[in-house]
Amino acid sequence: MKKTIFLFLLSLFLSGSIAQTVENSSYSTVGYINPDGTVQNSNYSTLGYIKSDGTVQNNSYSTIGYIRPDGTVQNSSYSTIGYIRTDGTVEDANYSTIGYVKNDGTVQNSSYSTIGYAKNIEIKPAAAAIFFFFFRLN
């Protein structure tokens, strides 16, 4: 089952007081992840929120999903849509690899092609954005 899934994990535990920049493979800014969990596009319009408990909300504060402590990613109906592994591997609900978030912040698709960058963002948070906001894997 192929689902369109977003590929940038959003850190649940961002540190520092400066928004972290998310870039595409050409190093153009596609958005920002703020220390309070607010996710913004490149024009600073709010796309949504990642709460410290793992709840993911859209810009109207409606819950669109959950990032569980074990790395399981669920939609708003609690159906599992993927997994974020501790090594940065991102899998769909069928355990097929759809991408990778490297320790240096490089985000790759399943063919190891670089699709973007999430530097200075923890792996788990960067991965949350994959499922809910910036880049889509087909």
CB 135 within 8 A of CB 124: no
Q: What is the pLDDT of residues 81-103, one digit of tens each?
A: 999 898 889 999 999 998 898 88
Q: pTM of the entire structure? A: 0.78
Q: Which residue has the higher pLDDT, 65 or 130?
A: 65
Q: What is the pLDDT of residues 103-124, one digit of tens each?
A: 888 889 899 999 888 877 777 6
- CA-CA distance, 117 to 101, in Å (whole number)? 9
pLDDT at 3 (0 to 100):
33
Confidence of residue 130 (pLDDT cuts 50, 70, 90): low
Q: Which of helix, strand or coil describes residue 136?
A: strand
pLDDT at 34 (0 to 100):
85
Confidence of residue 8 (pLDDT cuts 50, 70, 90): very low
pLDDT at 12 (0 to 100):
30
- CA-CA distance, 107 to 65, in Å (whole number)? 21
Q: What is the DSSP string of 84-107?
A: E-TTSEEEETTS-EEEEE-TTSEE
pLDDT at 46 (0 to 100):
95
pLDDT at 5 (0 to 100):
34
Domains along the chain with CATH numbers:
5-137 (2.40.160)
